[in-house]
Amino acid sequence: MPAPYSYDLRQKAIEVFQSGEGKSDVCRMFNISRNTLDLWLKRREETGDYQAI
């Protein structure tokens, strides 16, 4: 099973997205899938954090 992305990477990606960058651009910048970013944002909305489970 692959290791989860680091908390630092999650934090940076979400900060860049919140600063106004588009989701597709953020995903290219950090080499993550769009689905991954969407899951992080959904988890943050539901739990208040985006820490790996």
Query: Do the Cβ atoms of 41 and 17 come closer than 8 Å?
Result: yes
Q: Which of 27, 45, 49 is nearest to 36 (CA)?
A: 27
pLDDT tens, residue by residue, 6-48:
999 999 999 999 999 999 999 999 999 999 999 999 999 999 9
Confidence at residue 36, expressed as pLDDT on a 0 to 100 scale: 97
Q: Which of 5, 2, 1, 3 is nearest to 39 (CA)?
A: 5
Q: Which two tokens stand for residue 2?
A: 């692959």
